[in-house]
Amino acid sequence: MTLVLVKLGGSLITDKSRPYTVRQDVLDRLCTEIQQARLQGGPSLLIGNGAGSFAHVSAQRHRVHEGIGDEGSWEGFAEVHNDALRLNVMVREALTAAGVPAVTIQPSSSCITRSSRIHAFESGPIRRLLEAGLVPVVYGDVVVDEVQGCAIASTEEIFRHLASVLDPSRILMVGQVDGVLDASGAVIPEITRESLETVKRSLFASDAAADVTGGMLHKIERALETGVPTQILSGLEPGRIQRALLGESVPGTLVRG
């Protein structure tokens, strides 16, 4: 069974300038393309979504990525969890409406981190769902952390962990841009462990570094850790995710660990 992990980026499926706003037209189109790829004999899929303008808002307000500071932090934990789940429900409903047999896997109830790195994640149900031909859907979530009380388990961190137990053939990270951009705005065609330091310097030289560097570096570093060929591509161009799922060549950056 060929398996591909697909992340639908939060900046792609939500309007990050407007809290709690889904880009429904984009989300619906992406889900339709995913289903079309399935109908054309595409691979088995595990899908993840980012937090976008939902959980990022409450996570920043409560600083849950820094752990539990006081008793009020647990109320923040619940709020961030609810925001993350709200967006995931919308993603799952859009997938279902497109014909994809999607089933949510909730990280906050199945995952434990240690200093923000996943220490335990029950993968048995995911395996069984994949064997049954269903499409598990994970998402960035707040989780219990053995060291700091709580942490954010990003979709990239979840993929890093699941790649080691599910052995996917590829990972697609679908966002708003055509890949990782250098300081001049050109797409970097390939990133390896050897070229990472050069890429970092290029990102920090970019005018957009204040907005994207942390997030993009996180994506690249986790992708390298998986050892799985990972393509970073845009989902704004109609048909692109469908072609990528079917193994066709599309613009983007290939991260090869």
Spelled out in words, what is the top-level CATH class assigned to the domain 3-256? alpha beta
- Hey, where are the domains in the chain? 3-256
Span 183-193, pLDDT tens digits: 888 999 999 99
Q: Which two tokens stand for residue 142?
A: 């707040």
Can you tell me which residue has the tokens 């219990």?
144
How deeply is 252 buried, as exposed, middle or buried, from its count of CB atoms within 10 A (0-12, 13-18, 19+)? buried
Can you tell me which residue has the tokens 């609810």?
82
Give bridge partners of residue 47 from the DSSP assignment. Answer: 6, 137
Quote the DSSP letter at residue 22. Answer: B
Span 15-61, pLDDT tens digits: 988 999 999 999 999 999 999 999 999 999 999 999 999 987 788 88
Ordered per-residue pLDDT tens for the chain, 257 residues? 799 999 999 999 999 889 999 999 999 999 999 999 999 999 999 999 999 999 877 888 878 888 898 878 899 899 999 999 999 999 999 999 999 999 999 999 999 999 999 999 999 999 999 999 999 999 999 999 999 999 999 999 999 999 999 999 999 999 999 999 888 889 999 999 999 988 887 775 443 332 322 578 888 999 999 999 999 999 999 999 999 999 999 999 999 97
What's the predicted TM-score (pTM) here? 0.92
